[in-house]
Amino acid sequence: MGSRGYSCGRRVVARLPHGSDLLAGIAALADEHGMATAELRAIGALSEARLAFYDQETKAYGEFDVPGAVELVGLLGNVSRRDGATAVHAHATLAGHDGACVGGHVVPGCRVFACELMLQELVGEPLTRSYDEVTGLTLWNGL
């Protein structure tokens, strides 16, 4: 197990634009505030949702659409760097009109109806991602 210590820096509270892509909006916010590494939390609602599940045997993501408008019950994740660009890694729990929940890895295609979020900057050496042979995932380096 590897680890690295960070100090908490600025905290940004924001509301993403209606109709924007969830991941692109978070990345743009991190870039706007110069946050290379951050913790992410959000709630809200999505007019369209697309998630994925990682199959550990095949080492591939299977993407799926979540039908209808949904509540964004919770979004947890982080911001780091990959190939010189901002990388947002987030997992969401979504609830439909009947309260039934579904969750997974957030992928492009989630359209914001309303989203209130917080980015907590982590001050220290920026976290970067690269391919990990063992898992087949793009994970943090140096930990």
Contact 23, 90 (CB under 8 A): yes
Mean pLDDT value across residues 116-143: 96
Q: Say if residue 82's pLDDT is above 80.
A: yes
Q: Are 18 and 53 a contacting pair, CB within 8 Å? A: no
State the pLDDT at residue 2: 87
Mean pLDDT of 68-84: 97
Looking at residue 21, what DSSP letter applies? B
**Side-chain half-sphere CA neighbours of 36 within 13 A:** 14
Q: How would residue 142 be classed by pLDDT, with cut points 50, 70 and 90?
A: confident
